[in-house]
Structure 1
Amino acid sequence: MKLVADIHLHSHFSRATSKNLTLEHLWKWAQLKGVQVVATGDIAHPGWLAEIQAKLAPAEDGLFQLKPECAATVAAEVPPSCEGPVRFLIGGEISNIYKKYDRTRKVHNVVFAPTVEATAILQAELEKIGNIRADGRPILGLDSRDLLEIVLEVDDRCHLIPAHIWTPWFSILGSKSGFDSLEECFTDLTPHIFAVETGLSSDPPMNWRVSWLDDYTLVSNSDAHSPPKLAREATLFDTELSYDALFNALKSGDPTEFLGTIEFFPEEGKYHLDGHRKCGVCWEPVTTVANRGLCSQCGKPVTVGVYHRVEELADRVPGTRPSSAAPFTSLIPLPEALGEILDVGPNSKRVQTEYLRLLGRLGPELAILSDIPLEDISAAGGPVLAEGIRRMREGEVVAQSGFDGEYGVIRMFDGEADRLSSFQLGMFAGDPAAAKEESGATTAGRELPRERDESLPSKVAAPPEENALAEEEIRYSLPFDLASNEHASSDPQSHQGAGGQTESDWFTQLNLEQQAAAAHTSTPLAIVAGPGTGKTRTLTVRIARLIEGKGAAPSSILAVTFTNRAAEEMRERLTELLGTERSSLITVGTFHQLGASLLREFGNAIGISQDFTILADPDRQTLLRRACPELGARELRAALEEISARKNGLTRATKEGKTEESDSETWTRYQAALEEANALDFDDLILRAAQMLETDAAVLSAVQARFGWISVDEYQDVNTAQHRLLTLLVAGGANLCVIGDPDQAIYGFRGADRRYFLSFEDDFPGGKRLHLERNYRSAQTILDAAMQVISRNPDHQATALIADFAEQVKLDVYRAPTDKAEAEYVVHQVEQMVGGISYFSLDSGRVDDDGLPEDFTFSDFTVLYRLNAQARLMEEAFDRSGIPYATIGGSALAEQRPVQEIVALLWLTLAPDSPVHWQRILTEGKRALTDDEAADLTEKQIKESEGRSTPKAWPRAIAAETRTGTLRQPQRERLAQTVELVEKLASDASAPLSSQLQFAAAGWAGLRGIEFSDTEEERINRLQRRAAPFRNRLQDFLTTISLQSEADLYDSRADRVTLMSLHAAKGLEFPVVFIAGCEEGLLPYTPANRAVDLDEERRLFYVGMTRAQRRLILTHAGRRFLFGQSMENRLSGFVTDIETALQEVRQAEPRRSRKRAEDQQMRLF
């Protein structure tokens, strides 16, 4: 069965598309055009899938048909001459914007699924990655290769075809953001690509010039954004009517099944030639090269078109036709042909009336354009139309090429005289065939491309003489230094590190300041490392030199950080320098991980068992609520804050293990509850480790003997307890090196005390202090501005920071009228700097397509703010735009549902009598126990164990309750199911950690009786990713996940804009940084009735500024609504501390209200 298929178009859920892109209108227009198989439009939007399920019914295998009741609403609009079967195939476009091989890539791919069920699974997978609800064609920060992997894993009948492969933006081979080959893009999964879509601006002969494309079937589709654009390009088949038959024909390229394509004339495509639309400049490739790629009118880079890009990759001469080439036909849409003849626009009422009349007389549009005899066309539409169609079929057209987003024009007649002449020929000859003979035309059609006629009308601007190159210098490729069009190597291996470096190599790659720090080992050392000065690199090279140059045993080295993320980065750097075998022997971790490790190994000395659990914050609340039920919610939070402050501010530890503040009854009851639960809280890990070392000389001696070389990162953030623990470790003679920056001390509210850094030489006699001042991160303007801010603090430590590269930029300071307008401005700026997220961005003028010297992708941007409450408006603005983003902040992963319940289940496999974790599980979900019922069960557990903790006491107490207790039957059943789940988990303790997590998650879903939401699924996926490095080390994993901080939530692999607080941004860097809410009262944050450390607030702003590499944008709003109040705050004094010469001040254009304008008019009279 011969079929016309158009399987790449859109739905009304896609941006910048017609509201008539509904299934009913697609069914109608498919018949008007003569198309038998049409894609559903989009594939990723849940709302569209709901419409598909409501309006389509299964037809042949993998295909669908419109339900009769839906078809009836538009059936009367289809003439009987056009009526025919229409089948739908589920398929749609996905936009991938990401960074690969150090370049931003923007690639559109069309994805297909055989069933509604597979489509739903695909949507669920994609929603874990990005926002699929803001746009029918979602924008994902996802590598195309990874998208293909997801598609293949969903269903082996799912397929992916790269879309319009040559378009400058948003295509796999495009000049602006594409690759040089499919292998470079899809790497190991390239064999799963069997077809590519050529796009409107190229035709098969252009693609035949690239020999490696012979391996792929060339397909064409309309990419329609409105129903009348359907089938402007299409693909022809002769197969049975089924999903698999169509794709098998594309895979094989069998010429008896795949019959070729229907094409646009490529010159009509809006990116065919090079040019600059704003200046009306349209060039052939040779002219572009002669002008060094710069517009002759404005000097900005021109957009390199499809024809030029083909020339760059071509390895065949024009006119080459491979043996496997399929036929094709180039057509002009019938409304355009009628518009030319009638001398009106193709969308005019006159054209539309004539169009429908002809379809009623002759049949579908494609048949009129390609098959119906000219005599019949002449009889129905007149001789001029017949002559025009004859010329189109023969390729005798006049082309004005499209460029830089402006469609070209294809004409059948060369002006008014030619059209009138054709009319006269038709009148007198009465035979359209005779008109060809009479006109002397000899063109044999367009099987091969005709020679380009330089005399064709176009907007070609001659190059000015001063920019002209010598003839021998002209090549059909752009100069290497054109940043906007420069292409990365097609060899992925060229992007890998060199490896195999020696100690001498590491050391000589450091600057002189870093070398001095890395070489100093004779005394205690404090390195003052300003932002971006290579702190981690200096510290890791110093550690590597201890092993290579000093002969230090790797196991004798301890490196302490403040976040898991920093520890992971340090481990990776040390592995690069030393290899896995030696680096794995170095102890690297946070202070809390170190404390946990020491307590598990030596804790018996002070009565702590090795299998203690670590309580996250919600579990601390549960424990204290049980211990002190009289406390209200506010009192409970205040009590926990006080307990934490006491533990972190340890001032005296006695041999009895008590603190001078421990007389408080709340403290006593809380500590007793911890001991009864065999649990420690976050702060205990430091406090109890320090107490242990002070109370047991043997343990202290053993630990001091173990670590002869100690390095501490971010030393400005240590608190009293951490400093005490460190002093104990060093007291045995270990060599100490600390590194950090007192001007980046921002955790005073948590008990951190930068004075320990300032008094380093007093605390460790003989110590030396060195400074790192060369900055490898930020532009000098950003550094100068940051120094002007921090220098206002009376005890600042920073000396002048010197940028390692010269780039003159100004800080943008933008005033928005409201906080909502501020959020919209941030989103617009991201869209602008990425270079547009869609064709609409470019065509609407929302984004200036002149390009930027940088090559930004979504992960290059962060939006920072003082309070997490500011995130909501930013999230809403990014949701509306469809730009992928991730919000970092708030609670740690282990404190979020359902992760905390899954973690609780896993803790119970190690500590089956942990009352806190039992209560977490039993009081949540379906048929849950009340808090009072759980408390009663606790009493029974204590009785079961006769006042002391014994293994399995809780399961026995629960078993007794299910037999003889007073609980209702549903709760008893729930207890039994919970015990069964925990015992199954415990019995399979040797299974891989990933399997245990999966089983625990599934078990918890069953217990609570509700499926996980998309957000919860994403949290579980993050938990799985965090677990991957631990393999089967469950206890180590639970310890690590319980010690995560806000800063650990950032995932650099996610290609998304990052929204986070200024505190969470510590230690990170981004090419572009927005700091929102730069207003008095917010930054610095000065809440009522609370003492404020303005110096620390200034340091916090300094930290935010120095996260920026290339661009820093400071925004503030004239009016802000926060915490239920409307505020009008003036610009932050921190910003006014920056000299105006470094600022580029911008503000929103004021809107003139209609009422005010009317009042002014009245006053005139």
Structure 2
Amino acid sequence: MRNNKGRFDKTLWTANEVGEKIRWVQLSDERAEAEFVGKEIQKWLAAHHEFSFQDVAVFYRSHAQSRSLEEIFRRNRINYRIVGGVGFYERKEIKDALAYMRVLVNPDDSVSLLRIINVPARGLGKTTLDKVEQFANTRRLSFFAGLRKLLEEGATDVPPSAKKKLVEFVKMLDSFRDLATRSHVSEVYHHILEATGYVTELKAENSDEAQARVQNLEEFDTVIQFFEEDAKRRGLGPKDGLLQGFLNQVTLEVSLLNKEDETSNVGSVSMMTLHSSKGLEFPLVFLVGMEEGIFPSRQAIGGEEENSEGVEEERRLAYVGLTRAKQKLLLTNAQVRRIYGQVQVASASRFLAEIPHEFVEMEIQRPDTGARFGVRASWESEKATGYQSWKSKPAAATGPAKTAGGLTYEYDDGGSSSYKVQSTTVGDEGGSIAVGQKVRHAAYGLGTVKNLEGSTADRKVTIEFTGRVVKKFSLKHVQLDPA
């Protein structure tokens, strides 16, 4: 918290005995992160029989991050509950997207059709829809078949303006269905969101709730991308009924939704945003997604001039999360993460580096197998050499240097227990950043350094990213990787 300029100095203390160090684990991606959390919960409860699921909490910056965790928890029969929210597939925007897809596969799914016929709002009132439903019931047809038949017969009982909107709706669904027969699920999904203006309407609301819904839709795109990658490995394409296959997979996931047994004494793992964690404490706490652009969030980091107030508020939120753990605290970040279906290199959150090194124990896991690099270490900063020295625990690894998450890991082939980790993150102390250099930012992607200004102690860099987006950062706080 000393990094916040607008704070009052205070000295905090605890009457508790010295406990375990904070454990920071870097994993390959969000799937590996979720699997790690699930396994650690099971291991911890197996070793501590006095505790149950209700003594465990997982915190994240936004509810969109819960999806991969929910998937792993269901598979491993870990009871969980979403505090201050609902499960991923129970969220309105996800139900809406699935309803559109289900109607494309089965036009006679009247429940799904009625859900989305006026979403986003198309000006179709209850009176008009009641007339369509009455007509369909009289002819013993599904709602959509009745709607099509009604329009074929002229729809004389429907006002001209409403009739026009119904015709446009039917044409839109027909175009979606045609696309679904020859395109990948992700293409169909993107087209639905664009053609209906669903995301545009949410962004126009400019509210925190709308922003959270957009993030959920982005995460749903990640679900689709994972499905398509699996389908590709099995040699399946659009002509093999991918949309139906995807819906079958989601239906299976939903059917496995965790239902806590009220008679059970094991309780549920609490999953919640950091905002919801205020005032709560748990013996075991996980804080996931500790990456620039996620925590602190892209919005908090700000635009051309870094938003110091936004970052300071995020830092206060981080402090809240860190202090919710009674006995054990684990922090995780991913080396790469899918955002709106696209794989992006993720930089570790600045808040991780701000925790005093003597209180942190770090562990790196291999991106390919999930096995450890062999490093489980406590930090000792060696500013003079530009290295961070790592004193490993008993298991030592050997082999060539590995690069992951902006760090180069050097191994002692002689079996020594000492490791050195050299950061390849762009810094200015040694003049390693220059105008014209290509760099990569976790939230904004690839960019070119356009200007450097200020003293060495407070150096600022201006970068132009793809799409002519220009941002200015303080080199003390931003993490940039060489491109």
TM-score (structure 1 length as normaliser): 0.18
Normalized per residue, the structure richer in strand is 2
TM-score (structure 2 length as normaliser): 0.40
Work out which of the two has the higher radius of gyration on C-alpha atoms and give 1 or 2: 1
Normalized per residue, the structure richer in helix is 1
